[in-house]
Amino acid sequence: MSTFPNCPECNSVYTYEDGALYVCPECAHEWSQDAAVDAEEEKVIKDSNGNVLQDGDTVTVIKDLKVKGSSLVVKVGTKVKNIRLVDGDHDIDCKIDGVGAMKLKSEFVKKV
């Protein structure tokens, strides 16, 4: 029994092969087999300006971000030191002074 890669869009395990493409029956996403090999190598996370981020970088918030479940707001220009990159929708783990541990999206930060 051969195993196919999970869907890159919804992470479904029910993908199947259709000619030179992989197809996900759950979200209808199609991708080439060559793209599946490239995606498995390494995911590159970039900031809002297109700079590549790495663990330990310092970034600045470019937009007021409301903290879900509280009345706190992370203001524009807040510096975040020593970030850690993780998989998922919110791809930055960090600690922000006055707020605590948070997860941020890389699209709302720029590298310092």
Annotate 70-82 with DSSP letters as a single string: SS-EE-TT-EE-S
Output 64 or 35, whichever has higher pLDDT.
Answer: 64
Q: Which residue from 58, 54, 111 is spatially nearest to 82, judged by alpha carbons? A: 58
* Model confidence at 41: pLDDT above 80: no
CATH of 1-38, one of 3.40.50.10260, 2.20.25.10, 1.10.760.10, 3.40.50.970: 2.20.25.10
Domain with CATH 2.30.30.40 in the chain: 58-111
What is the pLDDT, as a whole number, of residue 111? 96
Cα–Cα separations (whole angstroms), residue 42 to 39, 77, 88: 6, 30, 14
* Model confidence at 4: pLDDT above 60: yes
pLDDT band at residue 1 using 50, 70 and 90 as cut-offs: very low
CATH topology of domain 58-111: SH3 type barrels. (2.30.30)
Domain with CATH 2.20.25.10 in the chain: 1-38
List alpha helices for the chain, DSSP H.
Answer: 33-41
E-assigned strand segments in the chain: 16-18, 21-23, 30-32, 59-61, 65-66, 73-74, 79-80, 84-85, 92-96, 100-104, 109-111
**What are the pLDDT digits (tens) for 78-89?**
999 999 999 888
Residues β-bridged to residue 57: none
Residue 31's identity, in one-letter code, is W
